[in-house]
Chains A and B, each alone.
Chain A
Amino acid sequence: MRVKVLSRNPDDYVRETKLDLQRVPRNYDPALHPFEVPREYTRALNATKLERVFAKPFLSSLDGHRDGVNCMAKHPKSLSTVLSGACDGEVKIWNLTKRQCIRTIQAHEGFVRGMCARFCGTSFFTVGDDKTVKQWKMESPEYGEEEEPIHTILGKTVYTGIDHHWKEAVFATCGHQVDIWDEQRTSPMCSLTWGFDSISSVKFNPIETYLLGSCASDRNIVLYDMRKSTPLKKVILNMRTNTLCWNPMEAFIFTAANEDYNLYTFDMRFLESPVMVHMDHVSAVLDVDYSPTGKEFVSASFDKSVRIFPVDKGHSREVYHTKRMQHVITVKWTSDNKYILCGSDEMNIRLWKANASEKLGVLAPREKAAMNYNQKLKEKFQYHPKIRRIAQHRHLPKSIYCQVKEQRIMREARRRKELNRRKHSKPGSMPFVSERKKHIVAVVK
């Protein structure tokens, strides 16, 4: 007699080793999995809530400076090394993995105004209030050796900023004018001037390395071309620009941190109006640094907070603050796009995660998949009001919160006034000026 039985191929359901995952046959028939949208919505909501729950961006504080931290520099070759200069002329080199200071140099008398590392990472430059430019070795001196700079350049005026060329042995300082120096010479290769005012910051373009941007206290931003040793164009804004930073992935884009609480992203080819006005700070913005991916930037402000802006958005996606953090003077985004460092008035350097709720360390593949899925869901449902409310909610210190409110009221009042004026004046006599154009006074050729 022949008996028919159900038979299955064991290959379909038996694991090769017990470490393999169990095979789970799945039926993707949509009829079996109803309510896709509501279920995904719930998942998105949970993901958003969890993101807020796990948002603990603060990692550590590096203390050791005896005065406010005035400037910082990234090591171009080592992720764990960061340099900082303080208001008492002290320069410290930090190891981020150990979160320790590994070297201290009394570099200048008075402030360390600016510092930058050479592109190869073997040495770094500092400028100070004592009218000197000093070049230092990156390695600490051997036992018994004295801590001395490799070169010292005595200048006539105070230098307020320094930046190194990205490929050549050339650096630029700023003060009364922008000087471009050869590393081997004690006098500048060329000096670029346009107008007479103290220039607060100068930055080399990281992509088209012959380009320079500077901002001066007469409210202008000036671009220079090193090849022709000539200034190119000048934009005058409503208020002073403190620093600027070039986008490391988009050669013609730079962002300027302004005194009027805003940041302006410019396309250097069209300076008539900024590409984007980033507003959220409630006090002067003191420093800005791009993420190495060029998609976001971080800004430090006098309002004791650090904010992260997407390049293409007008408002920040994140604000970092702590109770003890005072006016943030300098900020840096590390070259692996993972962390943010900010140096503030109260002598501390703080290390933050760039992505507040990110889990640090190695992720299992399933964890990674879950993270990606959650991210996607958050993106998909980001426009839904309930989800947006949770995703956008940030606790702010009272001072900033009140300021924000106040500013909103002020802005509203201004808007209302303009509206009324327009209503009571001859049609066409009060033209509408877009937010972007409002802050530009003039473009000088």
Chain B
Amino acid sequence: MAEDWLGVEAAVSASEGEDGDEGQEDGERRHQRLLEAVSSLSGRKRRKLAERTEASVQVSEFNVSCKGAGEKLVLSELLQPIRPKSALSSVKKELTRVKQKKAVELPLSKEEAKRVVREAAYVRTSKDVGKWQQVVLQNRRAEQLVFPLKQEIATVVPLEQAASAWKARTPLEQEIFGLLRKTQQPITDPLLTPEETASLQAMSLEEARQRRAELQKARVVQSYYEAKARREKKIKSKKYHRVLKKTKRRKALKEFELLHKSDPEAALARLEELEQLRMQERMSLKHQNKGKWARSRAIMAKYDLEARKAMQEQLAKNKELTQKVRVELPEEEPGDVPEEAVTSQEEEEEEEEMSEEEALLQDFAQKRHVRQQQAGSPEGRGADEAEAVSELLGDGPIPTICAEEQASAGIEQPPQAQEEILLSEQLGQARTMEDVEALASEEHGEEPEKPAAARAEKQVQQQEKGRAGDRRAKKPPAKKKIISLQAMLAETSQEVQCPSLPVVVEEEEGGFDQRGVITEAFAGDDVVADFRREKRKAEQAAKPQPVNLVLPGWGEWGGTGLKPSTKKIKRFLLKPPPAPPRKDQHLPHVIMSEQRNIHAAAHQVSELPFPFERHQQFEQSIRTPVGPTWNTQRAFQKLTAPRVITRAGHIIQPISAEDVPNVAPAAGGRAKPALEIAPKRQEQPFRRPRRRAR
């Protein structure tokens, strides 16, 4: 950059020198010469222009006067002398190559060159400046701007920083400091760690709020789960817990199997754990009928069947837990066939059991649900109670069977299954609908095809019909014997979609004249009668209306269903004086509106003001009140917030790239701006469209 400056400077000084030489007075020239002499004294080297003494036709800029100035130099002439010498072959080659090259174009004139530079610079600068476009538009549109733009964030100065400048001076202070030092009290202990200070500066309010919300949510979820666990723990039913435990175990087993398939190693590790458990069980005396409880049971066992059963159960459990788990390795498939068969049988049994368990659990859940509903909705208590009672009496298993059926049906027809899920919430009806469906499915056989597919098929058919109306005779597929509601609905909708195109075409072909069309188009209109009706309506509307000032309840009994007395109505229904005769009284074809009030017009806005596009908009803006009489305090504050806020005694600096995050620092414009907008024609922000209001 510095060299550039220097270069320019030199050029300027040179040009100045030339200017001086050209057309100045004698004294000026002498002065100039003196200046030059002085400047040469200063030791600054200048190229001295060789003085010309001879007048020649042309002088080159290097002060070489040549004789054959007008003649052209031909390259071949230069080549001639070096022809015989082979040593100069390389030179010759170069020269021939030069000969083949085209002549360089003339450089641009100084003015032209400057203009090119200027244009390039202008384009670049306007591009650089254009990156402010977004910011500027944003600020222009902003609801509120607070100046100065750079708001200082108040940070807490650490105590040790504030205290570092302070020194103990008075004897009391010194004494205290001495004591503190003696006890090695950390005076300069960083009260705020660097991280804390960083977080203080970095954590914005928004972030903090977000974080707080997250924490709150997590806490809520946690408390919810806690409550759930507590609730479940509270359930006293042993059966429920037993069933629950069993299902858990089943689930664990299933998971283990899955794991065994997907990740054998992890399964092995799991197995080890199980083995550990088994070992523990073997060591412990827990399930061996030797505890206090077991002994008491043993006494009872003689007479009580249940006690005996419990003991046996315990023993069975022990057996189960101490049983060694066999490891099935995938390689041993062929040898294990019978075993597998056995296991499969077992599994079937288990599944049955499981379904029962599930059914039981569901039963529990339903009961709970019913109870909750009763608690929640006192209105529907009566009906629900009856159901609950009936359930309690012993028709519990029926819904479970239904549920099974639902599940089985769901596999076959997913859309119907969805419906059932919705319906299952209302117990009584679900059953009946289901029965109907079951019946239908029995009758249909393979009927239940997906309705979407049916619709698509239908559409295709309809299209075909549209193209060739004759083919309408074609029979619908024989499959449809039973009319389903869905199909019917689909059909009716399709019927509407069917275009009536061919009819229109026929009409066009028939031909017609313009007048006919017009008369046909306005066949039903009776303009004169319409106008008359309109005028009558306007007359009616312009008639002054009686003013009703009747207040029910004043001077007599009031209340619902009571009407004010006729006497009162007669007294307080004020009849206005008759209106002056209308101006269009004797003009049958004219309606003259007398709505416009000239006196009010002086106070009304006659023209739609600029930022509004439609008069409704403007009217709306006037109609909404902003005052505290009609708005709450907060709304009032929001509505009356000033557009620009400045703080007294604060200097407002010009906007800079630091104030605006998305404008890259304009460090010489070298850095590519983050957002670059091509300098396109700016949409006129200041234009005022003139439009008339009503």
Pick the interface stretch among A10-18, A127-135, A187-195, A323-331.
A187-195
Residues 1-54 (chain B) with a chain A CB within 8 angstroms: 4-5, 8-9, 12
1/0 per residue, CB under 8 A from A, across B124-143: the answer is: 01101110110010011000
B644 within 8 A of A: yes
Pick the interface stretch among A110-118, A263-271, A341-349, A397-405.
A263-271
A380 touching B621 by the CB < 8 A rule?
yes
Q: For residue B122, which residues in chain A have a CB less than 8 angstroms away from its CB?
A: 223, 232-233, 445
B641 touching A372 by the CB < 8 A rule?
yes
1/0 per residue, CB under 8 A from B, across A21-51: the answer is: 0000000101001001101100100000000
A293 within 8 A of B: yes
1/0 per residue, CB under 8 A from A, across B637-679: the answer is: 1011110101111111111100000000010110000000001
Q: Give Cα A239–Cα B650 distance, bound, in whole angstroms.
A: 38
Q: For residue B628, which residues in chain A have a CB less than 8 angstroms away from its CB?
A: 373
Known contacts A28-B632, A293-B147; decide if A40 and B626 are in contact (CB<8 Å). yes
Query: What's the minimum C-beta distance from B42 to chain A, rounded to whole angstroms?
Result: 13
Pick the interface stretch among A53-61, A98-106, A381-389.
A381-389
Known contacts A269-B130, A369-B640, A385-B603; decide if A225 and B681 are in contact (CB<8 Å). no
A139 within 8 A of B: no
A377 touching B118 by the CB < 8 A rule?
no
B121 touching A336 by the CB < 8 A rule?
no
Query: What's the minimum C-beta distance from B35 to chain A, rounded to whole angstroms?
Result: 11
Q: Give Cα A76–Cα B606 distance, bound, in whole angstroms.
A: 47
Known contacts A36-B625, A208-B128, A337-B652; decide if A312 and B686 are in contact (CB<8 Å). yes
Give which listed residue, B125, B606, B652, contacts A232 with CB less than 8 A.
Answer: B125
Tell me how many residues of B have a C-beta within 8 Å of chain A.
Answer: 69
B630 within 8 A of A: yes
Q: For residue B684, which residues in chain A have a CB less than 8 angstroms away from its CB?
A: 275
Give which listed residue, A233, A375, A386, contacts B118 with CB less than 8 A.
Answer: A233
Tell me how many residues of A have a C-beta within 8 Å of chain B.
Answer: 66
Query: What's the minimum C-beta distance from A169 to chain B, rounded to whole angstroms?
Result: 15
B558 within 8 A of A: no
> When A and B form their complex, what is the total count of cross-chain residue pairs whose Cβ atoms lie within 8 Å?
180
A250 within 8 A of B: yes
B631 within 8 A of A: yes
Q: For residue B118, which residues in chain A have a CB less than 8 angstroms away from its CB?
A: 230-233, 445
A376 touching B626 by the CB < 8 A rule?
yes
B377 within 8 A of A: no
Give which listed residue, A28, A33, A252, A385, contacts B605 with CB less than 8 A.
Answer: A385
Interface of B is mostly: loop
B103 within 8 A of A: no
Give which listed residue, A252, A312, A336, contacts B126 with CB less than 8 A.
Answer: A252
Q: Give Cα A28–Cα B633 distance, bound, in whole angstroms.
A: 11
B12 touching A191 by the CB < 8 A rule?
yes
B8 touching A229 by the CB < 8 A rule?
yes
A445 touching B626 by the CB < 8 A rule?
no
Query: What's the minimum C-beta distance from B159 to chain A, rounded to whole angstroms?
Result: 30
Q: Give Cα A384–Cα B602 distance, bound, in whole angstroms.
A: 9
B453 within 8 A of A: no
- Most chain B beta carbons < 10 A, residue from A166, A190, A207, A335: A207
A77 touching B132 by the CB < 8 A rule?
no
Q: For residue A251, which residues in chain B have a CB less than 8 angstroms away from its CB?
A: 129, 132, 136, 655
Residues 343-380 (chain A) with a chain B CB within 8 angstroms: 369, 372-373, 375-377, 380
4 closest Cβ contacts across the A-B interface? A292-B652, A206-B654, A248-B654, A36-B625
Pairs A–B under 8 Å by Cβ, sample size 17: A36-B629, A166-B654, A189-B9, A206-B654, A207-B654, A207-B655, A210-B669, A248-B654, A269-B130, A269-B679, A275-B682, A336-B646, A369-B637, A369-B640, A373-B636, A380-B626, A383-B609
Given pairs A37-B625, A229-B8, A268-B126, 9 additional interface contacts (CB within 8 A)? A36-B623, A36-B625, A191-B9, A207-B132, A228-B117, A270-B679, A275-B685, A292-B653, A312-B140
Interface residues of A (CB under 8 A from B): 28, 30, 33, 36-37, 39-40, 43, 76-77, 79, 166, 187-191, 206-208, 210-211, 223, 225, 227-233, 248-253, 267-270, 275-276, 292-295, 312-313, 335-338, 369, 372-373, 375-377, 380-381, 383-386, 445
